[in-house]
Chain A
């Protein structure tokens, strides 16, 4: 029986962001951009969608007079990620 995949997570860039954040305490926007190889504009849009879904917390602050964006996964995000991975497993050949 195939389980429905969370449409928020079933997108390459959003899934890449969530996979990065699941393993760390928090990460800067520039780090995520570098590791995912995405453009700042696209990444910003996708992180906003994850934030709206309550999966990611976005902290905006200043570092040496420059704006800095820090992202961290929320407990709801961890749950959604785990559910997504479990659902994925139903699609894999046994």
Chain B
């Protein structure tokens, strides 16, 4: 592969084939979508049962503490993935930044809602916010199920302000199924197909 006398047409063909080899890689295996999907599903259903059947609002925060070990696991997992990945595309980088923005926004919304004394607004706002990274990931990864999931999130966010607060936890559960769990399994099967 060292000869100098190749034509302009050969050069362009080589450039084109190499660019497509690098960019057609699909690094998303859906693991974190599934992890977060199931964690939030468990948290939201437990919250609904606690609030609806036992009128227990005080212990809600303990259920959501399940997200702390999940974050720790995610950090370890991402560090390992970064080490074992042979190539990092701009797509991977942008996608991870989109989710980082969501985490920051979610954190800020949590604090703002906490200070505002209107906790019932938390679920509708989180649902609305949830749709943003999901939709953008769907665009970046060229993956339609994520975009459909994002739209369902926005619809559920709108519905959640018209129903009693307790039921918004059920909407959150539906949202994680449509935005994370279903696309997560589809991403996993797409990744396995590519690997196989």
Contact = CB atoms under 8 A, between A and B. Distances in A.
Bind each other: yes
A24 B87 contact: yes
B3 interface: yes
Contacts of A63: 83
Interface string B45-75: 0000000000000000000000000000000
Contacts of B83: 63-64
Contacts of A11: 2-4
Contact of A28 (B21, B23, B87): B87
Contacts of A78: none
A40 to B, nearest CB: 13
B163 interface: no
Contacts, number: 85
Contacts of B87: 24, 26-28, 31
Given A12-B1, A23-B19, A88 B86 contact: no
Nearest to A26: B88
Contact of A25 (B3, B11, B93): B93
Contacts of A64: 83
A89 B3 CA distance: 20
A30 B1 CA distance: 17
A31 B86 contact: yes
Nearest to B25: A24
Given A23-B22, A24-B22, A35-B22, A12 B12 contact: no
Interface residues of B, number: 29
A80 interface: no
A11 B3 CA distance: 6
Interface in B1-18: 1-4, 6-12, 14-18
B89 interface: yes
Given A20-B18, A23-B23, A88-B11, A12 B86 contact: no
Interface of A: 7, 10-13, 15-16, 19-28, 30-31, 35-38, 42, 46, 63-64, 85, 88-89, 91-92
A-B interface, 5 closest residue pairs, ranked by CB to CB distance from nearest:
A19-B18, A91-B8, A31-B86, A28-B86, A13-B1
17 contacts: A10-B4, A12-B10, A16-B18, A19-B15, A20-B18, A20-B22, A23-B89, A23-B90, A25-B88, A25-B90, A26-B87, A28-B86, A35-B18, A38-B1, A46-B2, A89-B8, A92-B9
Interface of B: 1-4, 6-12, 14-19, 21-23, 83, 85-90, 92-93
